[in-house]
Each structure stands twice: as structure tokens, then as C-alpha cells.
């Protein structure tokens, strides 16, 4: 069975091994698999800002130990490279980057920590304009990864990399990982946790992905719990009239379905072809998210959510 027809939610393992201890990490992974989860996402730099060493790798190591302790367990592993600090405290000025040598070294390290011979999806974590994207694409070929994707890259750079891969017979990028949720940040602002100026999914990136049949993974879709946790206010970057209308529509649909706001957001993302990622730290949060991706919204509910701020997500040029 294809993974999309099972559970489309991605389990984000960013804080595994640091603020989420190993026992809890194992419990989350076990529950995810128990409920049909397929994709687990990590990175070589996770989570350097919370680790004792100032370097990443803890998340991959925990996943590697879990895989070793669960022989026969079938999951798909996605990891990222390019954002690991060169020395503790040197990020973002000095990070590993995407040179051919750095790519090969980082990937070897990921395989070792994960205890696997190959990964299902390898992401370029952040763009690196000190390196030609063509050189990075060439370096990816021959690596033990089934697919390649890009996170936090502008659409034009993704296109350049894909064009080079196609021209040389290499495997092109087929996935994007960007921040996306139901609410829209004010123009010129970045939501908390988004550290790259091309980190928020734009209409151009969404359209590009659709036209080229690329997967889009949405990180921080639940605003770190702010949709439903009264102790976590919705960030100020989302405070504008368009979102006032969106919140009202979201509240109405949540009341109609009996679901939480965040669950409606997950269902809405899926309805637009976006694969949401959950980075929760508790099993009950994971269960709620899994219930959310199983929620079916009616055509009328989707239409009202889409039209709340008078913007057609599916076709921004409709009527022009």
C-alpha cells in the first residue's frame, strides 16, 4: 500500500535526544508506527542549539538506536544536511553548507548515526549560494538515497537544480519542505522558528510544485500548539485582518466537526496536497494529529475556509 493511502502525517524528530528524552522518543516512534505512520523526518544538525556539545546528531542517533531495537520495523527515513554548524556557536555564519565535499561527509555521518545503508529521502536543508547548485546536484548522484528534496530554497534555484539534473540524466529534486499553515504571516515577516527568508511556502513555490508533481512537506503547521493551547498565543506575525476572517472560519468548521482547530488545519493542508509534519513531544499530541489527518472536511467547509480572506489558494489568478 502506498504511504499516502496509509498515514500522510510526517513525524518530525527535531528534538529527539535533546529536549525529548530517549524513552519518550521511542514511545512516540512506537505509537506512530502502531497507528500506520510511515515517514520520520530528521537532520544532521538536530538539535545543535539544545545539545551539550553544540553540534547536531542526537536526533539521528536516537532514531538509529530505535531502529536497532525494533528489527523488522518498516518506516521511511528522511534526513537533511547543510545546516550543521562548523564549530559550536558558529551558526549561521559558519555552517557545513552544500559543497560536494561537505555533502558527502555529512551524508556518511548521517548513515552512521542512523545505522542504515541508505535513506528514503535526502533534503538540502538550506540554500548555499557560495556553491553552484549544479555542483551540489552532481555530488548527490551516487549517494544511497532513493529521493532528493530541498528545504528553504527559492523556486528559481530549485528549478536550476532540477534542470541540471534532467540535462545530465541525474535524479532531480522531487520534494519541497517549507513552513505552511492555515494562517498567513504578514508580508515581510517570518513566523517564529523560520530562520530563512525563503522558508515560508509562497504561492509561487506551491504552484511550481503542483506543476512539476513535487511533494510539499509543511513544517510547523500547528504553530507549536498555538491553535488550541490557550497558554500559547498565536504569534504576532499572524495578526492582521485577513487572519481575523480565517480564524472565524476555522472556529466555525471546528464547531461543526467537533474537532480541534489544529485538527481542522491538518485536514485543510491535506486537502491542498500538503503533507503536514508534527514535532510534538507527547503521545497524546501525536494521537490528536493522527486523528486530524484522518478528518474529512466537506466541500462546503473547504470552500469557506479557502474564501475566508477572499483569496483563492488553488488559483491566485482566478477571475483575472
Among 180, 311, 178, 191, smallest CA distance to 249 is for: 311
- pLDDT bin (cut points 50, 70, 90) of residue 2 is very low
Predicted pLDDT at 280: 85
How far apart CA 111 and CA 118 sit, in angstroms, is: 7
How far apart CA 225 and CA 213 sit, in angstroms, is: 30
Predicted pLDDT at 5: 52
- pLDDT bin (cut points 50, 70, 90) of residue 166 is very high
Contact partners, residue 227, CB within 8 Å, separation at least 6: 234, 250, 260, 261, 262, 265
Report whether pLDDT(317) > 80.
no
Report whether pLDDT(103) > 70.
yes
Among 313, 179, 185, 314, smallest CA distance to 243 is for: 185
**Could you tell me which CATH class the domain 3-227+273-296 is placed in?**
alpha beta
Predicted pLDDT at 318: 46
**For range 213-222, the mean pLDDT:** 98
Predicted pLDDT at 91: 87
How far apart CA 226 and CA 69 sit, in angstroms, is: 34
pLDDT tens for 263-313 read 999 999 999 999 999 998 999 999 999 999 999 999 999 999 999 986 544
End-to-end distance of the chain based on CA atoms, in angstroms? 41
Report whether pLDDT(29) > 50.
yes
In the chain, % of residues over pLDDT 70? 95
The larger pLDDT score, comparing residue 91 to residue 290, is at 290
Average pLDDT, the chain: 94
Report whether pLDDT(4) > 60.
no
Report whether pLDDT(157) > 90.
yes
186 sits in the region (left: phi over 0; alpha: psi -120 to 50; else beta) called beta
**For range 73-78, the mean pLDDT:** 95
Predicted pLDDT at 310: 67
Sequence length of the chain is 320
Domain boundaries, the chain: 3-227+273-296
pLDDT tens for 33-58 read 999 999 999 999 999 999 999 999 99
Q: What is the DSSP string of 288-318?
A: HHHHHHT----HHHHHHHHHTTT--SS-TTT
Amino acid at each position: 500500500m502506498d504511504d499516502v493511502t496509509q498515514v500522510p502525517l510526517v513525524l518530525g524528530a527535531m528534538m529527539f535526544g535533546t529536549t525529548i528524552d530517549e524513552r519518550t522518543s521511542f514511545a512516540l516512534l512506537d505509537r506512530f508506527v502502531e497507528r500506520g505512520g510511515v515517514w520520520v523526518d530528521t537532520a544532521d544538525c538536530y538539535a545543535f542549539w539544545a545539545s551539550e556539545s553544540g553540534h547536531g546528531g542526537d536526533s539521528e542517533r536516537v532514531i538509529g538506536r530505535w531502529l536497532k531495537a525494533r528489527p523488522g520495523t518498516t518506516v521511511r527515513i528522511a534526513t537533511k544536511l547543510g545546516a550543521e554548524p562548523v564549530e559550536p556557536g558558529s551558526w549561521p555564519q559558519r555552517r557545513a553548507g552544500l559543497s560536494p565535499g561537505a555533502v558527502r561527509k555529512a551524508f556518511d555521518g548521517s548513515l552512521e548515526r542512523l545505522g542504515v545503508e541508505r535513506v528514503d529521502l535526502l533534503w538540502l536543508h538550506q540554500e548555499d549560494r557560495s556553491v553552484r547548485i549544479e555542483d551540489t546536484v552532481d555530488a548527490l548522484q551516487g549517494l544511497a538515497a532513493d529521493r532528493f528534496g530541498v528545504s528553504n530554497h527559492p523556486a528559481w534555484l530549485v528549478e536550476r537544480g532540477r534542470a541540471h539534473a534532467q540535462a545530465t540524466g541525474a535524479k532531480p529534486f522531487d520534494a519541497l519542505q517549507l513552513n505552511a499553515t492555515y494562517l498567513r504571516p504578514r508580508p515581510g515577516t517570518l513566523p517564529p522558528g523560520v530562520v530563512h527568508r525563503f522558508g515560508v511556502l509562497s504561492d509561487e513555490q506551491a504552484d511550481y510544485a503542483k506543476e512539476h508533481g513535487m511533494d510539499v512537506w509543511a513544517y510547523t503547521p500547528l504553530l507549536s500548539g498555538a491553535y488550541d493551547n490557550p497558554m500559547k498565543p498565536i504569534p504576532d506575525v499572524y495578526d492582521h485582518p485577513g487572519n481575523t476572517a480565517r480564524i472565524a472560519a476555522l472556529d466555525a468548521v471546528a464547531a461543526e466537526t467537533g474537532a480541534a482547530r489544529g485538527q481542522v488545519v491538518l485536514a485543510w493542508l491535506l486537502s491542498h496536497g500538503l503533507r503536514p509534519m508534527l514535532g510534538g513531544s507527547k503521545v497524546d499530541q501525536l494521537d490528536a494529529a493522527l486523528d486530524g489527518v484522518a478528518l474529512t472536511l466537506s466541500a462546503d467547509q473547504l470552500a469557506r475556509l479557502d474564501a475566508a480572506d477572499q483569496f483563492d489558494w488553488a488559483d491566485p489568478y482566478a477571475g483575472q
